[in-house]
């Protein structure tokens, strides 16, 4: 069993807007559950720090960074109907990025094998020039940039299992062959991107892999997509580090989407990613929280990921396996993805 770290900072709770689903209670539910279940004593705390402006500008324009800071300093504002800024939002977002960078450093220095960054606001919708979709700065993308630009790595993979496509992460790396971006997501759905034919451009053609799944996919279909696409793609790419945009809004209990993944499904996926990281990149695996808006499902699903990282068996959750209904046939979309990326016959 490798040493497992976690990042959490109370400043993350200061970013809040009344009635908004992306709320501090999300992290409070996770931390309360981990403490009640005694898991925190088995994890290594990694202190968060503030990211520098230079780090933010590895993925975002200086104008975007300046706008978010100015809006926070002037009392807050709404950037779009989904995305808010309060007086504390810039500080929380800078520390969310910095928390991921602290975990990255701990992993690359060998202090931990893997880590889960319990950060907010989330990041994967934030593009090079625009904050959107509850996201201010792209936490995972900036961690990937730092790994490449400052830590000497040459190949990084990002796996995004949030129910929404990570359009921001895709945009940031669409022409960068040093990053393999693989996303499973409900499609069509917000933000409207993530079709299987979006594969990258120039020298990076083929390093963006989108698996657009229809609504109603269960754990069976979800894991099939990872076994048939993610596993062979990662084995062929052979990353030196695996980053995960970990959103839990594909859970059947989540109010913002229409997928039927169970907590056990997230455990099995985390085990798959853990094993791939150990096979391909010395176990170097960093999870960062994205979505997930049912507090019970979120807390238990994050705990399931920690159980996987700690090499422990699945702990049954109170929500169970969810609706026992037939799932959609995803064979056609998987075939399209595999043809687009020459994955047929790889395993």
- The number of folded domains in the chain is 1
Total-model pTM: 0.98
* Per-residue pLDDT at 186 exceeds 70: yes
- The distance in angstroms from the start CA to the end CA of the chain is 25
* pLDDT tens digits for range 261-298: 999 999 999 999 999 999 999 999 999 999 999 999 99
Range of the domain at 16: 4-340
CA distance 315 to 297: 13
Residue pair 142/184 in contact by the 8 Å Cβ criterion: no
152: alpha, beta or left, given left = phi > 0 and alpha = psi -120 to 50?
A: left
Residue pair 230/182 in contact by the 8 Å Cβ criterion: yes
Residue pair 104/92 in contact by the 8 Å Cβ criterion: no
- Residue 347 counted as domain residue: no
Annotated catalytic residue, options 55, 60, 125, 251 = 125
CA distance 146 to 55: 7
Predicted pLDDT at 345: 73
- Provide the CATH number for the domain around residue 61: 3.40.800.20
Please say if 164 is a catalytic residue: no
Q: What is the CA radius of gyration of the chain?
A: 18
Output phi, psi for 296, to 5 deg: -70, -50
Task: Report, as an integer, the average pLDDT of 9-22.
Answer: 98
Residue pair 152/108 in contact by the 8 Å Cβ criterion: no
- Residue 176 counted as domain residue: yes
* Per-residue pLDDT at 126 exceeds 70: yes
- Residue 255 counted as domain residue: yes
Q: Exposed (0-12), middle (13-18) or buried (19+): which is 346, by Cβ within 10 Å?
A: middle
* pLDDT tens digits for range 211-241: 999 999 999 999 999 999 999 999 999 999 9
- Residue 346 counted as domain residue: no
Which three-class secondary structure state does DSSP give residue 143? helix
- Residue 69 counted as domain residue: yes
- Residue 17 counted as domain residue: yes
Predicted pLDDT at 265: 98
- Residue 107 counted as domain residue: yes
- Residue 250 counted as domain residue: yes
* Per-residue pLDDT at 346 exceeds 70: no
């Amino acid at each position: 069993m490798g040493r497992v770290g976690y990042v959490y900072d109370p400043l993350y709770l200061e970013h809040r807007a009344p009635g908004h689903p992306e709320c501090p209670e999300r992290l409070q539910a996770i931390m309360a559950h981990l403490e009640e279940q005694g898991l925190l004593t088995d994890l290594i705390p990694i202190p968060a720090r503030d990211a520098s402006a230079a780090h933010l500008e590895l993925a975002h324009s200086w104008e975007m960074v300046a706008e978010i800071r100015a809006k926070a300093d002037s009392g807050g504002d709404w950037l779009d109907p989904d995305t808010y800024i309060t007086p504390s939002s810039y500080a929380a977002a800078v520390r969310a990025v910095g928390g991921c960078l602290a975990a990255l450093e701990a992993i690359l220095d060998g202090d931990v094998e893997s880590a889960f960054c319990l950060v907010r606001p989330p990041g994967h919708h934030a593009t090079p020039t625009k904050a959107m979709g509850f996201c201010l700065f792209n936490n995972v993308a900036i961690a990937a940039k730092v790994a490449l630009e400052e830590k000497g790595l040459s190949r990084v993979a990002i796996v995004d299992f949030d129910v929404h496509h990570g359009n921001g992460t895709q945009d940031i790396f669409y022409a960068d062959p040093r990053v393999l971006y693989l996303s499973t997501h409900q499609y069509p759905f917000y933000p409207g991107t993530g079709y299987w034919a979006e594969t990258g451009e120039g020298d990076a053609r083929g390093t963006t892999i989108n698996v657009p799944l229809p609504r109603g996919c269960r754990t069976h279909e979800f894991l099939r997509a990872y076994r048939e696409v993610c596993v062979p793609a990662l084995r062929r790419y052979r990353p030196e580090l695996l980053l995960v945009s970990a959103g839990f809004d594909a859970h059947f209990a989540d109010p913002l989407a229409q997928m039927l993944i169970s907590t056990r499904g997230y455990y099995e996926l985390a085990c798959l990613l853990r094993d791939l990281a150990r096979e391909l990149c010395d176990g170097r695996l960093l999870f960062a929280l994205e979505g997930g808006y049912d507090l019970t499902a979120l807390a238990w699903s994050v705990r399931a990921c920690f159980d996987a990282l700690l090499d422990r068996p699945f702990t049954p959750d109170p929500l169970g396996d969810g609706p026992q209904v037939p799932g959609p046939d995803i064979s056609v979309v998987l075939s399209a993805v595999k043809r687009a990326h020459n994955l047929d016959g790889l395993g």
